[in-house]
Amino acid sequence: MIIAIIIGMAIVTMIPRIIPAFIVDKLQFRDWINSWLGAIPYAALGALIFPGILSVIPEQPVIGLVGGAVAVLLAFLGLNVIIVVIGAILTVFLMTM
């Protein structure tokens, strides 16, 4: 029974992912659609960061916010993504001591 669930989940996850691969070269988008699609990564990043980051420690949303602020700071200094990630993990770790 679990196998049926896995197969079902795999199909409904895969189909939306692969459809664009088949159709994109058959379509010519207008300029505004191209700039819309070009802005999607930044919008997606925004939507993926907030409010999700508040639930890192669900009982204390402020910890996620502080960790995020540290990440913003480190990234603004031009540090590598790995350092940004490790810095944020350390911040949360210290705040939950």
Euclidean distance between CA atoms 46 and 93, whole angstroms: 24
CA angle 47, 53, 59 (to 5 degrees): 140
CB-count exposure of residue 61 (10 Å: 0-12, 13-18, 19+): middle
Q: Is 8 in the site for another protein (CB under 8 A)?
A: yes
Q: Is 39 in the site for another protein (CB under 8 A)?
A: yes
Give least dist CB 82 to another protein, A: 6
Q: Is 61 in the site for another protein (CB under 8 A)?
A: no
Binding residues (CB under 8 A) for another protein: these are 1-14, 16-22, 24-25, 29, 32, 34-53, 56-57, 64, 67-68, 71-72, 74-76, 78, 80-82, 84-85, 87-93, 96-97
